[in-house]
Amino acid sequence: MEKILVAKIGGNVIEDEKVLASFLQDFSKVKGPKILVHGGGKMATKLADKLGVKTEMIDGRRITSSENLDIVLMTYAGVLNKKIVAALQKNNCNALGLTGADGNVIQAQKRPPQFVDYGYVGDIVKVDGVIIKNWLEQNIVPVFCAVTHDTSGQLLNTNADTIASEIAAAMSPFYEVSLFYCFELQGVLEDIEDKSSIIEYIDQLKYKELQDQNVISAGMLPKLKNCFDALKKNVNEVHIANADFVKDNSIKHTTLCL
């Protein structure tokens, strides 16, 4: 089977214009079919502040009111997604910017309120791998932002790590899939204070250990869960690495395995 790269960028890779431009250049040079998924970084919070819209957070997760959803659309689907697409085009990479509503690619459902009502937040129900494959075969490079829809007209804010994991899984019947989570660090750290303490391999046993020891950051745990979900759904390789990993696969990083 042909290889495909699904890369997810977030954090500083999105925030810092130079880092982003450099990553997009490297990503453009990757041969063969590829897909990019991007988070939003702090742009949404900054715009919300400017507009006087309150951003409520519970356990590090944004509560998405109707006003917040508009801000997510403005920043993720509007400014960020389109600037990434234009930059990729500059690098001769035929990018196509997408939310899950476009082409009905990612169907989700509004998360049912239990202890917390997260607002317009979507949990993915289905990814249409066939339409993505059709685009890839036209040499198109899909670029997804963190927005899906419920097929009844409602757009939904959706975790970009989960989108990357589900898209990678949806590609697995057609390709040998590598999923890269790229960010500013070199990988998952044993000691958050020591940037060189990269854990090179994490399997499910190690994952449980890390959870029990409470050593890794709160934001990293759901990311690891997304990694294992992808591996369980036949994604071939999953790595958490610095953005430079896209151009140099030999740099130290974290590899996930079941």
Do 91 and 139 form a contact (C-beta atoms < 8 A)?
Answer: no
Q: Buried b / exposed e across 53-77, counting CB within 10 Å, b at 16+?
A: eebeeeeeebbbbeebbbbbbbbbb
Is residue 155 a contact point for a copy of itself (CB under 8 A)?
A: yes
Residues from 99 through 128 that contact a copy of itself (CB under 8 A)? 99, 101-104
Residues in contact with a copy of itself, shown as a per-residue x/- string from 238 to 257 under the rule CB under 8 A: --------------------
DSSP state letters, 104-128: G-EEEEEPPPSSS--BSBEEEEEE-
Q: For 153, phi and psi rounded to 5 degrees?
A: 100, -5
Is residue 42 a contact point for a copy of itself (CB under 8 A)?
A: no
Residues from 67 through 106 that contact a copy of itself (CB under 8 A)? 70, 73-79, 81-83, 85-87, 89-90, 94-97, 99, 101-104
* Min separation Cβ 133 and a copy of itself, Å: 11
Q: With respect to a copy of itself, which residue has the nearer C-beta, 74 or 215?
A: 74
Is residue 54 a contact point for a copy of itself (CB under 8 A)?
A: no
User: Using the rule CB under 8 A, which residue among 113, 153, 194, 205 binds a copy of itself?
Assistant: 153
- Identify the H or E element spanning 165: helix 160-171
Residues in contact with a copy of itself, total (CB under 8 A)? 39
* Min separation Cβ 129 and a copy of itself, Å: 14
Largest CA distance in the chain: 51
Do 118 and 178 form a contact (C-beta atoms < 8 A)?
Answer: no
Q: By C-alpha distance, which of 6, 5, 143, 149 is closest to 76?
A: 143
Q: With respect to a copy of itself, which residue has the nearer C-beta, 44 or 185?
A: 44
* Min separation Cβ 100 and a copy of itself, Å: 10
Q: With respect to a copy of itself, which residue has the nearer C-beta, 87 or 220?
A: 87
Q: How far apart are CA 192 and CA 163, in angstroms?
A: 26
- Identify the H or E element spanning 211: helix 204-213
Binding site for a copy of itself (CB under 8 A): 47, 50-51, 70, 73-79, 81-83, 85-87, 89-90, 94-97, 99, 101-104, 131, 134, 138, 140, 147, 149, 151-155
